[in-house]
Amino acid sequence: MAITPMEIYKLLPKTNCKKCGEQTCMSFAFKLLNREKKLEDCKPLFEEEKYARQREKLIEYLKPLEEATETGLIVKEELCIGCGNCVVVCPVHVENDPYGCGSGLAPRTDKLILKVENGVVHVLNMDMCRRYGKNRVLCVVCRENCPTDAISFLEG
Ligand code: SF4
Ligand code: SF4
Ligand code: SF4
């Protein structure tokens, strides 16, 4: 399930008190999702008892953020069957090894984002992923080619 700023916002105090350093609760919600802020930065949420239920719901809702990589990519290793589809189809891998990878073979380069080792895919150089950084693109190629839904994203 994708985490959205609006769903986060709905559970925040919505007072725009600015104690978190943001002008609005909505802006805080965006920063939370981008991991530029932590939930604890919203002081009223933790200090005022009337927000206790919202706080618990938010903690539960934001749990996937903890297991996601910095680009929002989540690999559920227990679902991975090590087929290597995600490795071969990743457009960055194909770009780096158009002849090998582009022909359906394992990419012949050490610089990989995803790599199957001991039958399970591992995330390596996330900074190479198209979802990384300011000019990121919401690429979904690996997820779309995973036969077991082992790959998901926080958004998109
Ligand atoms: S501290 Fe919490 S309630 Fe205040 S603006 Fe930030 S997110 Fe909203
Ligand atoms: S999101 Fe795109 S660029 Fe990133 S690992 Fe998956 S296929 Fe590769
Ligand atoms: S496509 Fe899915 S099942 Fe295949 S290696 Fe990648 S994550 Fe694992």
- CATH code of the region 5-67: 1.10.15.40
Which residue, by CA, sits nearest to atom 6 of ligand 3? 86
Band (59; pLDDT cuts 50, 70, 90)? very high
Query: What spacing in Å lies between the alpha carbon of 27 and ligand 1's midpoint?
Result: 9
User: Which of the residue ranges 39-53, 71-85, 124-138 would you say has the lowest mean pLDDT?
Assistant: 124-138
Which residue, by CA, sits nearest to atom 6 of ligand 2? 142
User: In testing the pocket of ligand 3, which one of 74, 76, 85 has its CB within 8 Å of the most ligand atoms?
Assistant: 85
Q: Is the CB of 23 under 6 A from ligand 1?
A: no
Backbone region of residue 146 per phi and psi (left: phi > 0; alpha: psi in -120 to 50; beta: other values): beta
| pLDDT tens-place string over residues 62-95 | 887 776 777 778 888 899 999 999 999 999 999 8
Higher pLDDT, 48 or 135: 48
Which residue, by CA, sits nearest to atom 7 of ligand 1? 25
3-state secondary structure of 118: coil
Which ligand places an atom closest to the C-alpha of 43? 1
Half-sphere exposure of 41 (CA within 13 A, CB side): 16
Domains of the chain by residue range? 5-67, 73-153
* Residue 84 phi, psi dihedral angles, 5° rounding: 85, 0
What is the predicted pLDDT for the residue at 102? 67
Closest CA to 57 of 115, 117, 13: 13
Q: Is the CB of 83 under 6 A from ligand 3?
A: yes
Backbone region of residue 26 per phi and psi (left: phi > 0; alpha: psi in -120 to 50; beta: other values): alpha
Q: Kindly state the average pLDDT of the residues 116-144.
A: 89
- Taking all residues of the chain, what is their mean pLDDT, rounded to a whole number? 89
Q: Is the CB of 103 under 6 A from ligand 1?
A: no
Which residue, by CA, sits nearest to atom 8 of ligand 3? 80
Q: Is the CB of 90 under 6 A from ligand 2?
A: yes
Band (56; pLDDT cuts 50, 70, 90)? very high
Q: Kindly state the average pLDDT of the residues 16-26.
A: 97
Q: Kindly state the average pLDDT of the residues 35-61.
A: 94
| pLDDT tens-place string over residues 101-119 | 767 777 887 789 999 999 9
Q: What global pTM score does this model have?
A: 0.68
Residue 15, Cβ neighbours under 10 Å: how many?
Answer: 12
- CATH level 2 (architecture), domain 73-153: 2-Layer Sandwich (3.30)
Closest CA to 19 of 51, 55, 43: 43
* Rounded percentage of the chain residues whose pLDDT exceeds 70: 96
